[in-house]
Amino acid sequence: QVQLVESGGGLVQAGGSLRLSCAASGRTFSRNAMGWFRQAPGKEREFAAAISRNGAFTYYADSVKGRFTISRDNAKNTVYLQMNSLTPEDTAVYYCAADGGTNYGSPPRDKNEYIYWGQGTQVTVST
């Protein structure tokens, strides 16, 4: 069982930056691929970024590539999402997710492959 708690969301002006953190409980964090997803009002939850269990592989949605950076610290059981050059289109609830520990290489981008989810943290980007 993995429990995830996100933090770091808030209100920021367009062009600004935020760093989201996701703290995981449990002893298996280093075995889990991790992902960040987001859900804007009235829209489906969409993939933003993912990182493999050892951090060697990362993937980004085209909409955030070059602006967002996902990273992890397995010693701290924490995954991060550094978000730069934010735009109002980035406004959403951001969710951290962990897979079931079965992806040994590339992390999944399909939300259906993630088993554990956090409660989400709101990110609002104003004009």
For 5-14, write each residue's pLDDT tens digit. Answer: 999 999 999 9
Share of the chain above pLDDT 90, in %: 90
C-alpha to C-alpha distance for 34 and 77, rounded to whole angstroms? 11
Dihedral Cα 103, 108, 114, 118, nearest 10 deg: 110
Residue keyed to tokens 């399909």:
110
| Pairing, β 58-60 against β 46-51 | antiparallel
Per-residue pLDDT reduced to its tens digit, 49-83: 999 999 999 999 999 999 999 999 999 999 999 99
C-alpha to C-alpha distance for 5 and 23, rounded to whole angstroms? 5
Q: Which two tokens stand for residue 1?
A: 């069982």
Q: Which two tokens stand for residue 79?
A: 């995954």
